[in-house]
Amino acid sequence: MKKNIPNIITLFNLFCGCCALASVFYGQFMQAVWFSLAGGIADYLDGSAARWLNVKSALGKELDSIADMVSFGVVPGAILYILLVKGLKGIDELPIELTLVAAPAFLVSVLSGLRLAMFNLDTRQTENFIGLPTPAATLYTVGLLLIFHHNSFGLAEFIINPIFLGINVLAISYLLVSELPMFSFKFKKLNWKGNEMRFLFLGMSIFALIFLREAAFALMILIYVLLGIFSKFSNR
């Protein structure tokens, strides 16, 4: 039973991804947000549980990739697709059939799949990441959805602007498979040395959440990317 606990957590991530996807297409945006966040927590916990219990299996690795593809690959593409449909057809529109002109939003899903496959083969990404992790890309799109849903700072119309969304689709897709070094969120020790970027990101994120609330999530990932760019050039 012990060796199956991480796999059960991973399957819960997959379940949350499926529910989030359905919620997005039915316009239940806050429900989609909560399912996405629950899936993200499960994704973090399954690896931690495997390490705590000292269990590891090839099945667990495959399940993790499948769950991530749904929760952090298909879901962000669906979010961008729905926002793009609203920008093209009207703010109250929910699709009842495929809107081909908005389908390029799923480029994020395609590149997420490529990234996950590359990640499984890349031996360099044991401590940190190369390229934007799929959970971070998902959190960014969830952040955009929250800003639209709550019309934070009156930005709802701007968020569904097709040009803005098109730029985001291209930027996210590129970052997913880029060589940009990104730090992981796992603290092995709580020392400042070696965790400077993590502590800096944590402090800025707390500040953003306090003052920007639901609008903070997208900004947090922008900060994360900027810290990665800073790290790349500072290392040079």
Q: What is the DSSP string of 173-205?
A: HHHHTS--EE--S--SS--STT-HHHHHHHHHH
Cβ(73)–Cβ(173) below 8 Å: no
CATH at residue 131: 1.20.120
Q: How far apart are CA 228 and CA 179, in angstroms?
A: 10
Average pLDDT over residues 204-211: 90
pLDDT at 198: 81
Name the pLDDT band for 193 (thresholds 50, 70, 90).
confident
| pLDDT, tens only, 127-164 | 778 899 999 999 999 999 999 999 999 999 999 999 99
Q: What is the pTM of this model?
A: 0.91
Structural domain range at position 66: 2-235
For 17-36, write each residue's pLDDT tens digit. 999 999 999 999 999 999 99
Q: How confident is the model at residue 220 (pLDDT cuts 50, 70, 90)?
A: very high
Model pLDDT, residue 187: 61
Whether 71 contacts 163, CB under 8 Å = no
Q: Which residue has the tokens 């707390």?
A: 206
Distances (CA, A) of 38 to 31, 99, 118, 210: 11, 29, 25, 21
**What's the average model confidence in pLDDT over 213-231?**
90
Binned at pLDDT 50, 70 and 90, residue 197 comes out as confident
- Cα–Cα dist 230/191, whole Å: 21
How confident is the prediction for the chain on average, in pLDDT? 90
Which pLDDT value is given to residue 126?
A: 65
CA pair distance 85, 159, nearest whole angstrom: 12
Q: Does the pLDDT value for residue 236 go beyond 90?
A: no
What is residue 188's predicted lDDT score, i.e. its pLDDT? Answer: 63
Q: How many domains does the chain have?
A: 1
The mean pLDDT value for 216-236 works out to: 85
